[in-house]
A and B are shown apart, each in its own frame.
Chain A
Amino acid sequence: MQTFSTRPFEPPVDPGVLRAQVRAFLAEHQPAGDAASRANSWAVADRTFTRALGKAGFIGMIWPKDYGGGGRHPLERYIVLEELLAAGAPVGMHWIADRQGGPLLLRYGTEAQRRDLLPRMAAGELYTCIGMSEPGSGSDLASVRTRGEREGDHWRISGQKVWTTNAHHAHYMIALVRTGERSQRQEGLTQFLIDLKSPGVAVRPIIDLVGGHDFNEVFLENVLVPDAMRVGEEGAGWRQVTAELSLERSGPERYLSSYALLLEFIRVCGDRPAPAAAELIGRLTAELWTLRHMSRSTAAKLAAGEDPALEAAIVKDLGNSFEQALPRMIQAISDVDLASDSAFARALALLLQIAPSFSLRGGTREILRGIIARGLGLR
């Protein structure tokens, strides 16, 4: 049995034309920067760039035109993402809205929610963050304790979310909240769109190990959320969240986080790389092409309406391992000038520090391996 059957990547348009359009856009709008600023670019938030991207129709591309989307094919979007990430464009501001927020509303949202939010998301003006993890609920997501009590046509929500990327930029948090009994675990969860300007919401920064601010703690104290901002059915939160994870796990961002360093390494090596460097470049390229093939195949399955959860877990595990090992492998054969301030040295230093987190975000390596093993019938 082949677990990972591949499916051809056949977008309905000429990819070359679309790629040229994205590249022309980037030539005009991508902020100047070097390899260090292009590394891990899907975590880099840039409001100006996101607005320009929205204006150009590259956010919400696959959403219906009625909701401000582009009505394009999912594989066209995939091509655009590949181009943006390979170029190291700062797509962090709208990334969650484009990848998860919008699709969630299209699947489970009300008509009013879609009309209200999707056009602004597609324009690059409205941002969302994901409120899943809590201090006591990381890998064990079903144990969330943030609690919602119904009060007439409102919900009173209290609790704490953590590791909430870009909560300090976002307008809404898509929060997973316990609305049923604790003993039911996975059944008693509901998703809400929480306006982060609501009374009772406090967003506090968590500074990461490079001194940057992407993560936050979000405290919710008696926050009143209209029932109209519930997403999907009461108690359906777990099913909705797990369906979303396939979208989150197989995209090109799962293997391209270190790509800017590979490009810079190739540039620094020049036309005549030393044998060890040439061998490493060849090896990394082979892995990259394999990953790309697998990621595109998974995208094709998603586009065809399948739910390739197992394939997505495999792509993420393999992709994270690749982007995590890449800086280490390049360091191992490079004669690094310790005091250098070159783009190569800075990109390498940055990635060596943040790479350990690549196998944490979006589901740890251990959780993914559990999913893969379950796919093999091992429980």
Chain B
Amino acid sequence: MGEAVGTAELRESFREVLDDIVAAGCVRRHVDEGASRCAPLWTKAAELGWFALLTPESHGGLGLPRAAAAALYEELGRAAAPLPIAAALAATEIVSAFGSQAQQAQWLSRLAGGDAAAFSASGPALDDASLRLANAALFGETGDLLDGVEAALLLAPVRDGENLRWALIDAADLSMQRIALVDRTRSLARARLDGAPASVFSADAHAIARKLRIHMSIALACDSIGGAREVLAFTIAYLKTREQFGKPIGSFQALKHRCAEHLVAIEAASALLGEAVSRWERDDIEAELYALLIKAQACDVYAAVAEDAVQLHGGIGFTWEHMCHVYLKRAKLNQVLFGASAAYHDAAARLLAA
């Protein structure tokens, strides 16, 4: 299945930039230091307009199709890049689709310029919205904000009396507490809102939630496929060079068959992902179903490949020094971000039954 020419070229350009970032040791240093922001990557991404990929041209963006974002997510996953961009692009979509003119004017160019956004990664349920709206101000706490401390914009469901609404909150108006994760390429945050001004969407809260969920499901699936391919590639390279019993260990059937199985699983997930992205791009009626299915499948495949890579590398795969664990931890986090696979399977089954 071929990629549109424009997207393939874009992918190539993403990859070149990320290869340079990786070669400069930026990802490695970020992980070793447990830093919250990878400044060289972020600066570069903002300069190159990655944050503006989906922003309408009328707001100074590139107005590209969603497949461009999907390609970026896959390349970021390949590099295990610490760049909180998916939530920013998802927020861009929401503001473009549902925002008032004022909301668009206030946020779209900031997001396009490289400001990050955050929302809760705890799962698709809206029912436990914990922020209360009173006199256009918000009160309460909300958690599991993916890369929250880096965000300029918080997007959150809020209770307005009986109504459930989504609101935009300027991160400057709230206090954010960082929660470090095992996966050091990302972090979570908890926000406290004590009268922060809120700009509320009039659109149906569930429609916004659905759009966010589709976007993040596909983003994580792309990240997972990119990561899984990279892990398999460097594992195979190792199996070709490491010798035991007088030959490369990759020549042993027990190991090469496992690599073949991983490739089969990755290709299957990748095919489903291609279908999901294409349906997402044309707002197909079944885009949500495909997004749910591929989130679970791609993340599970990634975790399985990354776990087995440790075994296939022997002792070296279990060290801090080797990159195996960076991918393993990212894969395990992808599996639970925005809800675990079982919840996605349930949701997909409900859609099928509806």
Contact = CB atoms under 8 A, between A and B. Distances in A.
B182 A349 contact: yes
A279 to B, nearest CB: 13
A356 B310 contact: yes
B332 interface: yes
Given A359-B311, A366-B252, A140 B244 contact: yes
A353 B310 CA distance: 10
Q: For chain A, what secondary structure do more than half of its interface residues adopt (helix, strand, loop), or is it mixed?
A: mixed
B161 interface: no
Contacts of A360: 310-311, 314-315, 318
B207 to A, nearest CB: 25
Contact of B244 (A139, A215, A335, A339): A139
Contacts of B273: none
Q: Which of B144, B318, B336 has the most chain A CB within a 10 Å cutoff?
A: B318
B315 A215 contact: yes
Contacts of B294: none
Contacts of B307: 328, 355-356
A138 B314 contact: yes
A206 interface: yes
B310 A207 contact: no
Contacts of B249: 139
Contacts of A359: 311
Contact of A366 (B254, B319, B340): B254
B172 interface: no
A168 to B, nearest CB: 16
Interface string A298-342: 000000000000000000000000000000100111111111000
A60 B179 CA distance: 45
A311 to B, nearest CB: 21
B315 A353 contact: no
Interface string B224-261: 00000000000000000001111001001011000000
Contact of A206 (B188, B319, B340): B319
A33 B204 CA distance: 48
Contacts of A349: 182
Nearest to B120: A338
Contacts of A139: 244-245, 249, 314
Contacts of A366: 252, 254-255
Interface stretch (B96-104, B262-270, B276-284, B323-331): B323-331
B140 to A, nearest CB: 16
Contact of B314 (A352, A364, A369): A364
Contacts of B328: 209, 353, 356
B89 interface: no
Interface residues of A, number: 37
A137 B255 CA distance: 17
Interface string B4-40: 0000000000000000000000000000000000000
B255 A209 contact: no
A134 to B, nearest CB: 11
B235 to A, nearest CB: 12
Interface string B185-229: 000101000000000000000000000000000000000000000
Interface residues of B, number: 43
A133 to B, nearest CB: 7
A136 B246 CA distance: 10
A143 interface: yes
B325 A353 contact: yes
Nearest to B313: A360
Nearest to A333: B342
A58 interface: no
B342 A332 contact: yes
Interface in B17-76: none
Contact of A338 (B243, B317, B337): B337
B68 to A, nearest CB: 29
Given A339-B144, A364-B311, A209 B325 contact: yes
A357 B310 contact: yes
A209 B340 contact: no
A233 interface: no
B188 A339 contact: yes
A329 to B, nearest CB: 11
B121 A338 contact: yes
Contact of A140 (B245, B315, B319, B337): B245
B340 A356 contact: no
A364 B325 CA distance: 19
Contacts of B188: 338-339
A352 B335 CA distance: 12
B92 interface: no
Nearest to A211: B320
Contacts of A163: 315
B122 interface: yes
Contacts of A133: 315
A116 interface: no
Contacts of A138: 244, 314-315
A162 interface: yes
Given A331-B340, A356-B328, A339 B318 contact: no
Nearest to B338: A338
A208 interface: yes
B321 interface: yes
B124 interface: no
A352 B329 CA distance: 9
Given A208-B319, A338-B144, A339-B188, A365 B324 contact: no
Interface string A114-125: 000000000000
B175 to A, nearest CB: 16
A333 B314 CA distance: 29
A331 B318 contact: no
Contacts of B252: 366
B318 A209 contact: yes
B109 interface: no
B273 to A, nearest CB: 21
Interface string B290-323: 0000000000000100011011001101111110
29 contacts: A133-B315, A137-B244, A138-B315, A139-B314, A140-B246, A143-B244, A143-B245, A162-B315, A208-B319, A209-B310, A211-B320, A215-B315, A215-B319, A328-B303, A331-B335, A331-B340, A332-B342, A334-B340, A335-B123, A338-B144, A338-B181, A338-B336, A339-B143, A339-B179, A359-B311, A360-B310, A360-B311, A360-B314, A366-B254
Given A215-B315, A332-B340, A357-B310, 14 more contacts: A138-B315, A207-B320, A207-B321, A209-B322, A209-B328, A328-B307, A331-B340, A337-B122, A338-B144, A338-B336, A356-B310, A360-B318, A364-B314, A366-B254
